[in-house]
Amino acid sequence: MDTSQPLSLLGGLSPDQFMKRHWHKKPLLIRQAIPDFQPLLSRAELMGLAAQEEVESRLVVRQPQGWTLKQGPFAKKALPPFKQAGWTVLVQGVDLHDESVHQLAQQFRFVPDARMDDLMISYATDGGGVGPHFDSYDVFLLQAQGQRRWRIGRQKDLTLEDGVPLKILAHFEPEQEFILNPGDMLYLPPLYAHDGDAIGECMTYSMGFRAPRAGELARELLAGLAEEAVDAVGDQVYRDPRQPAVTQAGAVPAALQAFASSAVQKALQDPQLLDCLLGEYLTEPKPQVWFEAQTERALNWPQAVVLDRRTRMMHDAHHIFINGESFKAGGRDAQLLRRLSDDRRLDALAVARLTPEALELLSAWCDDGWMHPEEPV
């Protein structure tokens, strides 16, 4: 993608301009971001997903006596009638389950994959919505079907209502209001208050992003470091030839504290190890994701390959990361595998240039269902 070229998806801004002016900073309303947009899933197909065990879904009902929230899956009969106003079903991770939704999500790859979370689809009857709230993450809200009235505000008071099963702002102060039609899109930065009410039946697609918290990253990386620690730090034994006789035998020797601290410092000193653990963490598939092994299919190298839509693949200067695993790669292999990660596809000519070792990896990934030989067109 040439990030300097204007995109109608971004209302004529280039990805460079959008990231500089709006991303993480201020909202953007884009009329006809996708002209003549047609929903990619029918209501029945979406409800079919909401009925599945491995799909994360929620039902929010607005009633005079207050809000109710239920977690899926939802058999058809468990949902309120479609003619009842004021309810909504939200289905997470539809990009993992549907190829056309996955392709739509690909249009947002001017943002690093490491920041992508998932594409959620909500269906609402008239007046349905999840109430005034804020999200911790950036979001693009694409209107897919029907109309929705969005009211938004950049308020500082993020106090939530007490005793409600959802995150509802106690004092919502909208500053702007827009009615979105199919194909229109609203970008909101994190913590921006918003409330979307369905006007008649409506479907909204939310392209959501994730941003790790410092504490969570420290916990994950330190857990990974703990496993590698003996190799990284070595087996040196604490020695204390200068230990004087003590009168307080219970006191931990300062030299032992320094020895422990230096052992931990050593474990942290290998920057490549931390980067490697980070890449593995970022590419870890979500818990509900599984791959179908493809051992029956004969591979016929060289042929073009495409990543499975559920595969998370990234890279850094020294490693290739795929679905929670890391591989050291250098030279031409590294260059080609980085291309596979960026384009999610590698053509047959490029595959032919891989070393036998790299081809073996590709074969294993195809067997695991992480990628597929491209169907001839």
| Residues lying near Co ion in the complex (CB under 5 A) | 135
**From CA 255, how far away is CA 53, in angstroms rounded?**
55
Binding-site member from 135, 275, 284, 368 for ligand SIN (CB under 6 A): 135
196 binds, among ligand SIN, Co ion, none (CB under 5 to 8 A by kind): ligand SIN
State in angstroms the smallest separation of the CB of 112 from ligand SIN: 21
Q: Which stretch binds ligand SIN (CB under 6 A): 36-44, 97-105, 122-130, 280-288?
A: 122-130
- Residue 93 near ligand SIN by CB under 6 A: no
Binding-site member from 122, 125, 145, 323 for ligand SIN (CB under 6 A): 122
**From CA 327, how far away is CA 129, in angstroms rounded?**
44
**From CA 179, how far away is CA 148, in angstroms rounded?**
6
Do residues 102 and 95 lie in contact, with contact meaning Cβ atoms separated by under 8 Å? yes
- Residue 204 near ligand SIN by CB under 6 A: yes
Q: Which stretch binds ligand SIN (CB under 6 A): 105-113, 129-137, 214-222, 331-339?
A: 129-137
- Residue 130 near ligand SIN by CB under 6 A: yes
Binding-site member from 33, 41, 62, 88 for ligand SIN (CB under 6 A): 88
Instruction: Report the phi/psi class of residue 99: left, alpha or beta, with left for phi > 0 and alpha for psi in -120 to 50.
Output: alpha
State in angstroms the smallest separation of the CB of 109 from Co ion: 22
Residue nearest to Co ion (CB): 135
**From CA 93, how far away is CA 208, in angstroms rounded?**
10
- Residue 196 near ligand SIN by CB under 6 A: yes
Which single residue is written with the structure tokens 């609203």? Answer: 186
CA distances from 179 to 185, 195, 199, 299, 324 (A): 10, 12, 9, 51, 41
Residue nearest to ligand SIN (CB): 122
Phi, psi (deg, nearest 5) at residue 235: -110, 20
Give the three-class secondary structure for 190. Answer: coil
Residues that bind ligand SIN (CB under 6 A): 88, 122, 129-130, 135, 139, 194, 196, 204, 206
